[in-house]
A and B are shown apart, each in its own frame.
Chain A
Amino acid sequence: MTTSTKESGAAAPAGSGPFLSVRDLYVRFKTEDGVVKAVDGLSFDLERGKTLGIVGESGSGKSVTNLTVLGLHNPMFTSIEGEIVLDGQELITAREAELEKVRGNKAAMIFQDPLTALSPYYTVGRQIAEPFWKHTGASKKAAWDRAVEMLGKVGIPNPKERAKDYPHQFSGGMRQRAMIAMALVCDPDLLIADEPTTALDVTVQAQILDLLKNLQQEFGSAIIFITHDLGVIADMADDIMVMYAGGAVERGTVDEVLRSPQHPYTWGLLNSMPRLDSDLDTPLAPIPGAPPSLLRPPSGCRFHPRCAFQGEVGGARCVDELPLLPAGRGGACHLTAEQKQTIFVEQIKPRLR
């Protein structure tokens, strides 16, 4: 197994802080209709070798956050504030040339739809080889061999021949495997998987998840796993961050968040998940209302217009005051810990069985 050479971090040596640290991140898009507050004051950390699951509805800022980590937004229409430190290197203020050395090398990304995310014009082998020769300075021949090796690693039979194929000659699952091979070709320390299994059918999905877990053990990468599927998260992640309307509303370990969720939105997500063993007559319980427009997000708690429990808080706190997310385990909600406990045990938990 060849190992890639890495650019050493520009600032502090690795290990002095969390491997990836995002602090007070604000991402705003200028559009014709106004400014979209896509990410609104988000902070989180990720340690080496761990998997962070980010859950939330479409438009909650999951993908935007992670594209920001790699600096993939068009600066012409985007304003970004805050701090993103990857292994001691500040990324928001980094120059484009520096970012190019990070992308695909130290931090790589797997996208949702492998058909549109791979170029139809180049062979799979070439597309996997490109980042390798770019980042390691290897010859094209060596990079091609490495691409073939990676295709074999992700379980593509006859990789030597298949590397010469174009993406449209691959099946959906194979394309996603090729995409994973492409992301891992330079041994990244951070792998961002943006709904990598959403476009695949369930059996293939399970294979891809297994593959990712095995590769994580082999490569020791940290993974950010974005999904809206709590079942997948339970399987993959160590920690969970629940996002709503551009901010984190709850975080904790997988067990904590799935067994004793602390935020009405998380309750809603768990409630709206269909279960194989549930009574056929029990209707699904979707969260009422629709995700808010990020052009004009609601005041106070972003979730209050859809929240069934704001009466319990009393007064207009939910409308006026943005609840803070405590560091570490917790949920951003004005309900007291006792209230949450009572509501969850009495109203939510029975419905989850």
Chain B
Amino acid sequence: MLRFLIRRTLGAAVILFLLSIVAFLLFFGMPRDPGLLMCGKTCTPANLANIHHVLGLDKSIPEQYWVFLHNLVLGSNGFDQGPCPAPCFGYSYHTNEAVWGTLMDRLPTTVSLTLGAAVCFLFVGLGTGMLSAWKRGTLVDKTVTAGAMVLSSMQIYFLGPLALAALVYQSHLFDKPAYNDFTANPASWFSGLIIPWVILSTIFASQYTRMARSSMIEQLQEEHVRTARAKGMSRKYVFFRYAWRGSLIPIVTIFGIDLGSLLGGAIITEYTFGLPGLGKLAVESVFFSDLPLLLGVMLFSAAMILLFNIIVDACYAFIDPRVRLS
């Protein structure tokens, strides 16, 4: 297991390295000059050259990349804004703040949004999906399947404003979505995030409903499930012990991917509800051609996805003994 983790972590590091090169090159392919954006209305060639020099943009691309990598791994004291310990993504062109600090500021919002929604969509999705499989062919099953179909074709930017209009602005049943620090006031943390959680999980849950249903039904047709029935185990026992165990693998796989990508920022949800998370930050960094911020957000998101991939693969070993021993 330890060797597996080390191997996978090294692999993930290589992927992040390659990804950073691609991102770096792509940035310089963009038509916008970040210097011009900062230069303002009274921009003279001398000013622009000065800005380019301060940002390091006057160096060659390989040289800039080398500096970026060096700072990332070892940190740097070469910034005017102050010291920048590793992992140093430098300072934002736009806000002048340390990129790592900004990421850490925005992270709690995204983590809160993701975890709350994940608990919600996992339970609702698996619950309805398994209910549907248990009651296969009945009205309950058909209703759940149809409902999941409708919800999975919904969009957050449609449901979100609708929910805001109906539940917040018209009826005042819920608080306006906002991120409040959990440690300061758990109640307002909860009430500020409840609508985003519900809306985000509505979209996701329907996928889990459909997947849990289909993989349970598939598992129930497995021969070993029939054997278990043939030795007198009850339908319930076979359903929850035998079929459930087998259907965990696809569910854990998708859940890991979803969790990883949500932790990298739920862009549309954060925008729809005005939550200052990593997703919103990603969009802002592109908007302002903010290279350090862009690289920071992107590599952080990628690292999350890779991390959860490793966790998922490690989970397989707990679920399936055949993986454990080979």
Q: Do they bind each other?
A: yes
Q: Are B227 and A118 in contact (CB under 8 A)?
A: yes
Chain A proximity of B244: nearest CB distance (Å) = 10
State whether A130 and B224 are in contact (beta carbons under 8 Å apart), knowing that A121-B246, A168-B322 are contacts in the complex.
no
Chain B proximity of A196: nearest CB distance (Å) = 13
State whether A103 and B223 are in contact (beta carbons under 8 Å apart), knowing that A76-B137, A120-B320 are contacts in the complex.
no
CA distance A166 to B232 in the complex (A): 21
**A70 touches which of B224, B230, B241, B325 (Cβ 8 Å):** B230
CA distance A131 to B233 in the complex (A): 7
CA distance A309 to B266 in the complex (A): 75
Interface residue ranges of A94-124 to B (CB < 8 Å): 96, 100-105, 108-109, 111, 113, 116-122
CB of B321 closer than 8 Å to a CB of A: yes
Instruction: Name the residue of chain A whose CB is nearest to the CB of B138.
Output: A76
CB of A278 closer than 8 Å to a CB of B: no
CA distance A294 to B206 in the complex (A): 39
CB of B229 closer than 8 Å to a CB of A: yes
CB of B63 closer than 8 Å to a CB of A: no
Q: Are B234 and A100 in contact (CB under 8 A)?
A: yes
Chain B proximity of A3: nearest CB distance (Å) = 17
State whether A103 and B230 are in contact (beta carbons under 8 Å apart), knowing that A120-B321, A121-B245 are contacts in the complex.
yes
Interface residues of chain B: helix, strand, loop or mixed (majority) = helix
Q: Are B230 and A135 in contact (CB under 8 A)?
A: no
**B321 touches which of A96, A117, A168 (Cβ 8 Å):** A168
Interface residue ranges of B182-229 to A (CB < 8 Å): 222-229
State whether A117 and B232 are in contact (beta carbons under 8 Å apart), knowing that A168-B321, A169-B325 are contacts in the complex.
no
**B232 touches which of A113, A116, A122, A131 (Cβ 8 Å):** A131
State whether A130 and B233 are in contact (beta carbons under 8 Å apart), knowing that A76-B137, A116-B223, A121-B320 are contacts in the complex.
yes
**Residue with the greatest number of chain A CB neighbours at <10 A, chosen from B222, B226, B231, B233:** B231
Q: Are B227 and A111 in contact (CB under 8 A)?
A: yes
CA distance A120 to B322 in the complex (A): 7
Instruction: Name the residue of chain B whose CB is nearest to the CB of A120.
Output: B322
CA distance A71 to B235 in the complex (A): 13
Chain B proximity of A323: nearest CB distance (Å) = 34
Q: Are B222 and A116 in contact (CB under 8 A)?
A: yes
CA distance A113 to B235 in the complex (A): 22
Query: A135 contacts which chain B residues (CB < 8 A)?
Result: 232
Query: B227 contacts which chain A residues (CB < 8 A)?
Result: 109, 111, 117-119, 179, 182
CB of B242 closer than 8 Å to a CB of A: yes
CB of A317 closer than 8 Å to a CB of B: no
**B233 touches which of A134, A169, A179 (Cβ 8 Å):** A134
CA distance A131 to B223 in the complex (A): 17
CB of A72 closer than 8 Å to a CB of B: yes
Chain A proximity of B21: nearest CB distance (Å) = 42
Q: Are A117 and B224 in contact (CB under 8 A)?
A: yes
Chain A proximity of B254: nearest CB distance (Å) = 20
**B230 touches which of A72, A76, A116, A122 (Cβ 8 Å):** A72
**A119 touches which of B228, B232, B235 (Cβ 8 Å):** B228
Chain A proximity of B274: nearest CB distance (Å) = 46
Chain B proximity of A138: nearest CB distance (Å) = 14
CA distance A121 to B240 in the complex (A): 13
Query: B226 contacts which chain A residues (CB < 8 A)?
Result: 72, 111, 117
Q: Are B320 and A108 in contact (CB under 8 A)?
A: no
State whether A103 and B231 are in contact (beta carbons under 8 Å apart), knowing that A72-B226, A116-B224, A117-B224 are contacts in the complex.
yes
A binding-site residues for B, Cβ under 8 Å: 70, 72, 76, 96, 100-105, 108-109, 111, 113, 116-122, 127, 130-131, 134-135, 166, 168-169, 179, 182-183
Given contacts A113-B223, A120-B320, 13 further A-B pairs with CB under 8 A are A100-B233, A103-B230, A104-B230, A104-B232, A104-B233, A109-B230, A109-B231, A120-B322, A121-B242, A121-B320, A127-B228, A134-B232, A168-B322
B binding-site residues for A, Cβ under 8 Å: 136-137, 222-235, 241-242, 245-246, 319-322, 325
